Amino acid sequence: MLLVRGIRVALGAAQPEKQATAVALKTLRIAENAVAHTGVAKLSVDARHGKPVLVYTIAISLKNEGAEPAYVGAAPCVAIARHVEFAPVIGSQTMQHRPVVCGLGPAGLFAALSLARAGYRPIVLERGPALDERVKAVEHFSATGQLNPNANIQFGEGGAGTFSDGKLTTRINDELCGFVTQTLLKHGAPAEIAYKQKPHVGTDLLRGVILSIRKEIEALGGTVQFNTCLTGLVHRNGRLTGIQTTQGDIACETLILAVGHSARDTFAMLAEQGLPLECKPFSVGFRAEHLQTEIEKSLYHQAAGHPALPRGEYQLSHHVGNRCVYTFCMCPGGQVVASASEEGGALTNGMSYHARDGKNANAAVVVSVDGSDFSGDPMKAIAFQRELERAAYRVGGGAYQAPAETVGSFLKGQGRLDLGRVQPTYDRGVQAADLGSLLPEELTSSLRVGLQAFERKLKGYAAADAVLTGLETRTSSPVRLLRGENFQCTGLSGLYPCGEGAGYAGGIVSAAVDGLRCARALMQQYAPK
């Protein structure tokens, strides 16, 4: 398949896709009768100069596929795309036991799927429940404030990404990203994720995709054990020999550890066993809400509201000394949700459904911290997160309500919630509070500087009635479990630290890719039992 990139079509043009396809064929100098198929591979919007322009990448397949490579040099904008396969070489070492995958978020899900497809029949452990039961638990918590520590926004089938926007953007450059997309499409993700510049699935549709992948794992001989938490590792002479769980012991010589960024009890167990953990950078702050229409006016100017334009998204950053203030996990037309996984701690996250048709836009506005803030001790970093969450719970008045403040008040340190056009969407309710007092002064000061800088980049961002809801503390894992080039833990052979929780990914796609990498490393050493 040939790709012709960077085709610009004016917003409002008649039949813009047809125009872009005609330009692509002209660029390649290919007659229409030689073409088997054309389609949109990517569609983005360039609104940098005040007048949005649609920017297409057009995919063209020829009837004679063997002739396609000859056209790659036709112009600098022409490339060729190949179907991505995942077919690792299988090792010769015989396994005594089935491999175990701990965690059923994106990393664990794709690790288990690849193992199952290769005949390894993995045992998959998930501390939370299956998806239907998990959804009920999350809805019950949202309505009543009664928290289940193992069935919530963080834990359960699908991992933390299940209750998010389902964003598939990633900064990593790995051909396995294409394999992840192909797999999601096969299991029911919307076709647009194959071509949108910033693809997303949406919380509502993502649930069905996750369930479909899990059923394929089971159909291929894999076993999924829900409500089963890893509690210990058994090893001899530096090699893994088994694991301990809340449902009993399991003998195994390989474990892909994909527990997610909130498995604090697991991190503590790893530290107690003397495994090599280090403190990893992460960020803290709050959720900022604006009217979606106001964001789009700032992005698209006079064209805001045009039906051909996608929901407006932004990504902002500003350096303040050695720290970075930035936006993270922006959810157009979404809502802010209660994301606690420990009793007595309040924290926020953002989510949106596939339609992204909510009134508000929300995003995390956070400031970076790193090992130097915690003397290099990952347990101190976790304690810092926990202290912030407990402070937010107290100031919110209990019952997992959240402290909130309007931007105008936050910038002046007034601790007020002067609601205007923007109404908070946090599902457990909010209480007016001085958000700045919940964070160390240096972090609060940096966030104030960052918000003012964002106003210069995106007009209206520091609007007085924009709402800040706190706190956002789980942007990524605060710890990293060290591994070598063979993807095994440097302190324990047979243990494969994997995904976001182990400190090697950030987001759905990169976590899924890391799951594939770890599974591939395992398969290259071992043959199926």
Q: Which residues pair with 362 in a beta bridge?
A: 289, 331
CATH, domain 93-278+480-527, list 3.40.50.920, 3.40.50.620, 3.50.50.60, 3.30.70.20: 3.50.50.60
Mean pLDDT by 10 residues, the chain (529 residues): 92 91 94 89 81 89 89 88 82 95 97 97 98 96 96 94 74 82 91 72 86 98 98 97 98 97 97 97 98 95 86 96 96 96 96 91 98 97 98 97 98 97 97 98 98 97 98 96 98 97 93 97 95
Number of other residues whose CB lies within 10 A of the CB of residue 503: 25
Contact assessment for residue 152 and residue 341, using Cβ atoms and an 8 Å cutoff: yes
Contact assessment for residue 153 and residue 349, using Cβ atoms and an 8 Å cutoff: yes
Q: H-helix or E-strand containing 240?
A: strand 239-245
Q: What is the structure's pLDDT at 196?
A: 66
Contact assessment for residue 180 and residue 512, using Cβ atoms and an 8 Å cutoff: yes
Instruction: Please choose, from the candidates 110, 68, 141, the residue with its C-alpha nearest in 3D space to the C-alpha of residue 428.
Output: 141
Please, is 283 exposed, middle or buried when counting C-beta atoms within 10 Å of its C-beta (0-12, 13-18, 19+)? buried
Contact assessment for residue 155 and residue 133, using Cβ atoms and an 8 Å cutoff: no
Q: H-helix or E-strand containing 387?
A: helix 378-395
Q: Which residue is listed with tokens 């309710």?
A: 429
Residue ranges of the chain that CATH labels 3.30.70.2700 = 2-80
405-450 residue pLDDT tens: 999 999 999 999 999 999 999 999 999 999 999 999 999 999 999 9
Q: Collapse the DSSP code of 197 into the 3-class scheme (helix H, G, I; strand E, B; otherwise coil) and give the result.
A: coil
DSSP secondary structure letters along 84-118: ----PPP--EEPSS--EEE--SHHHHHHHHHHHHT
Sequence-distant (≥ 6) Cβ neighbours of residue 286 within 8 angstroms: 348, 364, 365, 366, 435, 447, 468, 469, 470, 471, 472
Residue ranges of the chain that CATH labels 3.50.50.60 = 93-278+480-527
Domain 2-80, what fold? Alpha-Beta Plaits (3.30.70)
